[in-house]
Amino acid sequence: MRITSTMAETRELYSGGPVGLVPTLGFLHEGHVALLEAARDECGTLAMTVFVNPLQFNEAADLERYPRNLERDVELARDAGVDMVFAPSTEEMFPLPVATTVSLAPLTARMEGAHRPGHFEGVATVVTKLLAGLRPDRAYFGRKDAQQLAMIRRLVVDLSIPTEIVPHPTVRESDGLALSSRNVFLSAEDRQAALALSRGLMAAANAAESGERSARVLEELVLDTIAMADGVVPEYAELASASDVDRLDTADVDCFLAVAARVGEVRLIDNVHIDVNPDGVVADRGILMDRPSVLYSQAENL
Amino acid sequence: MRITSTMAETRELYSGGPVGLVPTLGFLHEGHVALLEAARDECGTLAMTVFVNPLQFNEAADLERYPRNLERDVELARDAGVDMVFAPSTEEMFPLPVATTVSLAPLTARMEGAHRPGHFEGVATVVTKLLAGLRPDRAYFGRKDAQQLAMIRRLVVDLSIPTEIVPHPTVRESDGLALSSRNVFLSAEDRQAALALSRGLMAAANAAESGERSARVLEELVLDTIAMADGVVPEYAELASASDVDRLDTADVDCFLAVAARVGEVRLIDNVHIDVNPDGVVADRGILMDRPSVLYSQAENL
């Protein structure tokens, strides 16, 4: 495995296609590893990027305290069979003050976009840069960031980027908590309280599979569950179309029910993907781990 | 030569590099032909695009009356040795309502950007799309659109698009008028009056080469020349840095003096590139044709 610092160098190392890309902010957890393993199975060459993109942090404090551990990320990538880790410096990524912004206003006005001004422009700009510069045939993104996934799928259509965007199910602790690099900041008590998010979503997924179609009813199921948990402050629960992120009144084909909440000092998001098709309703609840995750909980690595 | 309607089909026809791209709005004049010939000399495969991009027209009437003649464009491309003409339908380019916007606010707030709201976002979005989708090694743009050229050069750096942007000098009628597809709309009288733009710019270029460095003095030379022409209404004359389009007080390395004016119903732009280097001042006034252009004046083709 090679560690690269420029895109040109990375491209020169490609050997055999399809070329897969897993873009990350680093500090890998088992969710990233599952993404890498799925990509490994499908790609002749597999590249992973580690870049804590300053453009997508709307709060400077959040950028500063975002956890980092490149050494461990490189080890995990090697174990997962990654061929190259592109880990650029900020100077390599932005040799000039960034004048270019890529935005998808219609898909990012709501939910995360409303709560994190500038966040999605930062993501869209850097994802465009990684796809344009590294030219992968396939790029892998987790369903955990459902609105981001919807935005990126539209981005590649709008900009004719010949990269297939491949979604991967959310990976969850065995008790349901969605893996996130931010979980490391939860106190033991908050960690328990945070389960209200996934519990609410699972209740809604069950209801949808039992025939409930009303978006407001499904959203209330999530919010009511959260209301019962101490110290969890919801920001929103919304059912939205996965193709254009329009808020829905009724569950439909290819949509997602997303929730955001503050648990103590930590802001968490989660969602279930719901697909209403002629044969019935299929909810993608994610993948439950059969044992506790070990990677992100190593707070001593911060 | 092949005519293609999808980007994937176009890419499949590449044979031998470097792959060159000349993006156009069609209705080719001798300026485009010069660009094609320069590209032909340097590229193993040469693609030209013809697409009247609706995103970059800030006035619907302007879009509607923009001249079109694909048949003649194809003939000229064939004569110039182009390998493929990519001439997509609007539906092919935009299968979904466009949600993505690429903008370079710091470089487009002034001059053309100030007078044509939305224009540069439309250009940046479609140029990003053409470069991402067609993946040329080199793309050719005329210096006639100096601010556009500055924007595109920054765009490929910011988005790590591995395409070299190659500028080409402005091609001028033997009396100095810069070629433009819009010239066809000038009446005989306006055609004469329009010479004030290039006359003013040449006077300023001469002054710069004779040692004048003051941006305000150079700009006034242009505006004073225009003021003497009947029916020419200036919008601006500005000296700007070619790297970031900042307005300058003093002529410097790699800058351009640009002018925009309305001549009758027609809006014209022109500029000279000025480079102040240790050996002196070099002005790129463009290329004077030795005989009248014949292509754009065929109003019967409209």
The predicted-structure confidence for B141-152, as pLDDT tens digits, reads as follows: 999 999 999 999
* pLDDT reading at B276 higher than 80: yes
Q: Mean pLDDT over residues B5-13, rounded? A: 96
- Residue A240 has phi, psi (to 5 degrees) of -135, 155
pLDDT tier at A181 (50, 70, 90 boundaries)? confident
Region of residue B81 (phi > 0: left; psi between -120 and 50: alpha; otherwise: beta)? left
- Residue B152 touches chain A, beta carbons under 8 Å: no
Encode pLDDT of A214-245 as tens digits. 999 999 999 999 999 999 999 999 999 999 99
Residue-range domain boundaries for chain B: 2-168, 181-301
Contact A149, A156 (CB under 8 A): no
- Residue A239 has phi, psi (to 5 degrees) of -100, 125
Contact B215, B251 (CB under 8 A): yes
Sign of the dihedral through C-alpha A158, A163, A164, A165: negative
CATH topology of domain B181-301: Pantoate--beta-alanine Ligase; Chain: A,domain 2 (3.30.1300)
User: So what's the pLDDT on residue B296?
Assistant: 57
Q: Are strands A280-284 and B45-50 parallel, antiparallel or unpaired?
A: unpaired
Question: What six digits make up the tokens of A81?
Answer: 């069979």
Answer yes or no: B32 catalytic: yes
**Which long-range CB contacts under 8 A does A172-178 form with residues at least 24 apart?**
A172/A198, A172/A285, A172/A286, A172/A287, A172/A288, A172/A289, A173/A288, A173/A289, A173/A292, A173/A293, A174/A288, A174/A289, A174/A290, A174/A291, A174/A292, A176/A202, A176/A288, A178/A31, A178/A144, A178/A268, A178/A270, A178/A286
Q: Mean pLDDT over residues B236-240, rounded? A: 98
- Residue A225 has phi, psi (to 5 degrees) of -65, -40
Contact B39, B140 (CB under 8 A): yes
For residue A287, give how far its alpha carbon lies from the nearest alpha carbon of chain B (Å): 31
Of the listed ranges A84-88, B63-67, B232-236, the one predicted with least confidence = B63-67
- For B175, residues 6+ apart whose C-beta sits below 8 A from its C-beta are B195
The amino acid occupying position A297 is S
Sign of the dihedral through C-alpha B243, B246, B247, B252: negative
Chain mean pLDDT for chain A: 95
DSSP state of B32: H
Contact A266, A248 (CB under 8 A): no
- Residue B131 touches chain A, beta carbons under 8 Å: yes
Which of A99, A105, A107 minimises the CB distance to B158?
A99
- Residue B211 touches chain A, beta carbons under 8 Å: no
Helix (H, G, I), strand (E, B) or coil at A88: coil
- Residue A107 touches chain B, beta carbons under 8 Å: yes
Q: Nearest residue of A to residue B11 by CA position?
A: A162
Helix (H, G, I), strand (E, B) or coil at B166: strand
Across the interface, whether the CB atoms of B158 and A131 are under 8 A apart is answered: no
Across the interface, whether the CB atoms of A158 and B99 are under 8 A apart is answered: yes
Q: Nearest residue of B to residue A154 by CA position?
A: B99
Set of chain A residues whose Cβ sits within 8 Å of the Cβ of B246: none
- Residue A195 touches chain B, beta carbons under 8 Å: no
Q: Are strands B84-86 and A84-86 parallel, antiparallel or unpaired?
A: unpaired
User: What is B224-258 written as a DSSP string?
Assistant: HHHHTSTTEEEEEEEEEETTT--B-SB--SSEEEE
* pLDDT reading at B98 higher than 90: yes
Q: Does domain A185-288 have CATH number 3.30.1300.10?
A: yes
Distances in Å between the Cα of B153 and the Cα atoms of A234, B107, B159 are 44, 11, 10
Q: Which of B242, B162, B246, B232 is nearest to B197 (CA)?
A: B232
CATH of domain A2-168: 3.40.50.620
* pLDDT reading at A120 higher than 60: yes
pLDDT tier at B158 (50, 70, 90 boundaries)? very high
* B232-241: strand order across its sheet: B232-241, B255-263, B266-277, B280-284
**Helix axis angle, B70-79 to B30-42, nearest 10°:** 40
Helix (H, G, I), strand (E, B) or coil at B209: helix
- Residue A109 touches chain B, beta carbons under 8 Å: no
Helix (H, G, I), strand (E, B) or coil at A199: helix
Q: Catalogue the active-site residues of A.
A: 32
pLDDT tier at A37 (50, 70, 90 boundaries)? very high
Contact A118, A97 (CB under 8 A): no
Set of chain A residues whose Cβ sits within 8 Å of the Cβ of B161: 132-133
Question: What six digits make up the tokens of A74?
Answer: 């490189």
Distance, CA of A280 to CA of A294 (rounded, Å): 37
**Which long-range CB contacts under 8 A does A220-228 form with residues at least 24 apart?**
A222/A197, A222/A257, A222/A259, A224/A200, A225/A196, A225/A199, A225/A200, A226/A196, A226/A197, A226/A200, A226/A259, A226/A261, A228/A196
Across the interface, whether the CB atoms of B160 and A96 are under 8 A apart is answered: no
Helix (H, G, I), strand (E, B) or coil at A18: coil
The separation between the first and the last C-alpha atoms of chain B, rounded to the nearest angstrom, is: 25
- For B203, residues 6+ apart whose C-beta sits below 8 A from its C-beta are B221, B222, B225
Encode pLDDT of B186-214 as tens digits. 999 999 999 999 999 999 999 999 999 99
- Residue B259 touches chain A, beta carbons under 8 Å: no
Across the interface, whether the CB atoms of B133 and A160 are under 8 A apart is answered: yes
User: So what's the pLDDT on residue A58?
Assistant: 84
Distance, CA of B86 to CA of B5 (rounded, Å): 6
Q: What is the pTM of this model?
A: 0.95
For residue B135, give how far its alpha carbon lies from the nearest alpha carbon of chain A (Å): 9
Across the interface, whether the CB atoms of A158 and B96 are under 8 A apart is answered: yes
Sign of the dihedral through C-alpha A56, A60, A65, A70: positive
Which of B94, B95, B104 minimises the CB distance to A100?
B104
Mutate to test the interface with B, among A110, A152, A160, A245 (most CBs of B within 10 A): A160
- Residue A194 touches chain B, beta carbons under 8 Å: no
Contact B210, B117 (CB under 8 A): no
Number of C-beta neighbours around residue A105 at 10 A: 12
Mutate to test the interface with A, among B9, B21, B100 (most CBs of A within 10 A): B100
DSSP state of B269: E
DSSP state of B270: E
Query: Do A185-288 and A2-168 fall under one CATH topology?
Result: no
- For A23, residues 6+ apart whose C-beta sits below 8 A from its C-beta are A48, A49, A51, A127, A130, A139, A141
pLDDT tier at B161 (50, 70, 90 boundaries)? very high
Across the interface, whether the CB atoms of B154 and A100 are under 8 A apart is answered: yes
Q: Which spans in chain B are helix H?
A: 7-12, 30-42, 60-65, 70-79, 90-93, 105-108, 111-115, 119-134, 146-158, 188-193, 195-209, 215-227
Q: Mean pLDDT over residues A259-263, rounded? A: 98
Across the interface, whether the CB atoms of A154 and B8 are under 8 A apart is answered: no
Mutate to test the interface with B, among A49, A100, A151 (most CBs of B within 10 A): A100
The separation between the first and the last C-alpha atoms of chain A, rounded to the nearest angstrom, is: 25
User: So what's the pLDDT on residue A62?
Assistant: 86
Across the interface, whether the CB atoms of B98 and A162 are under 8 A apart is answered: no
The amino acid occupying position B138 is R
Residue position matching structure tokens 């001249």: B67
pLDDT tier at A296 (50, 70, 90 boundaries)? low
pLDDT tier at B65 (50, 70, 90 boundaries)? confident
Q: Mean pLDDT over residues A239-267, rounded? A: 97
Set of chain A residues whose Cβ sits within 8 Å of the Cβ of B131: 132
Encode pLDDT of A44-67 as tens digits. 999 999 999 999 998 888 899 888
Q: Mean pLDDT over residues B111-140, rounded? A: 97
For residue A141, give how far its alpha carbon lies from the nearest alpha carbon of chain B (Å): 19
